[in-house]
Amino acid sequence: MKGLVVPSVVTVLAVAPVAFAWLKASRRTWLVACTSVGAIGVAGWVACAAYGWGVTENMTDSLPGHVYVHRKGEAFGKGDLVAYRWQGGATYPRGTIFIKKIVGVPGDIVKTAGRAVWVGDGYVGMAKPFSKAGVALQPAAGGVIGEGEYFVATGHPDSLDSRYALSGNVKAFQIIGRAYEVF
């Protein structure tokens, strides 16, 4: 929710004069307005769903944005953000949508030294011993990233990503598609 306070206040201040004018409007005007807004919202949701788009809110600090859209089946590669379904564990239920960056692709080599993790020659970060919620975390094993698997991460030290055995490499079938930051 961080970062949403200022835009929310600005929006409220900008809309307030119109909203107060509407408060004086008739019941019929309210009915037409609410029906129109609802119909537009439903039409937008149906259009997004029909074309494979989804919306995800980032509830952690692991990425800079707060709202992301993802497109089902859209091609992705190293360096792209992807949306994928979490397999369950730690404090997140199975099926939670995560957004992470593809750091390693099939054939790349993951190296570890203690809790430090690299993909190829690129340093990914340290694998912490415990999550912010106190869950014990083990670093992922090094080795070659297998076919149909991807190493995902973010630069944030608290990101629950492929640095950890709990997550490991993300399987291709878990990936929904490419993701984009909205704000």
| Domain co-membership, 106 together with 59 | yes
The pLDDT score that the predictor gives to residue 1 is 38
Instruction: Indicate if the pLDDT at residue 63 is higher than 70.
Output: yes
How many domains does the chain divide into?
2
Residues 100, 39: Cα–Cα separation, whole Å: 33
Least confident of 12-16, 30-34, 36-40: 12-16
The pLDDT score that the predictor gives to residue 142 is 95
- Give tens-digit pLDDT for 76-113: 999 999 999 999 888 899 999 999 999 999 999 999 99
Q: What are phi and psi of 58, to 5 degrees?
A: -85, 115
- Kindly write down the DSSP assignment for every residue of 50-75, as one continuous string: HTTEEEEE--SSSSS-SEEEEEET--
Instruction: Indicate if the pLDDT at residue 25 is higher than 70.
Output: no
What does the mean pLDDT of the chain come to?
85
Instruction: Indicate if the pLDDT at residue 137 is higher than 70.
Output: yes
Q: Where are the alpha helices (DSSP H) in the chain?
A: 5-23, 27-50
Q: What is the CATH number of the domain that holds 129?
A: 2.10.109.10
| Domain co-membership, 116 together with 91 | yes
| Domain co-membership, 10 together with 35 | yes
| Domain co-membership, 125 together with 37 | no
The pLDDT score that the predictor gives to residue 179 is 95
The pLDDT score that the predictor gives to residue 114 is 94
Name which residue leads in pLDDT, 47 or 3: 47
Please give the order of strands across the beta sheet that includes 109-113: 122-126, 116-119, 109-113, 143-144
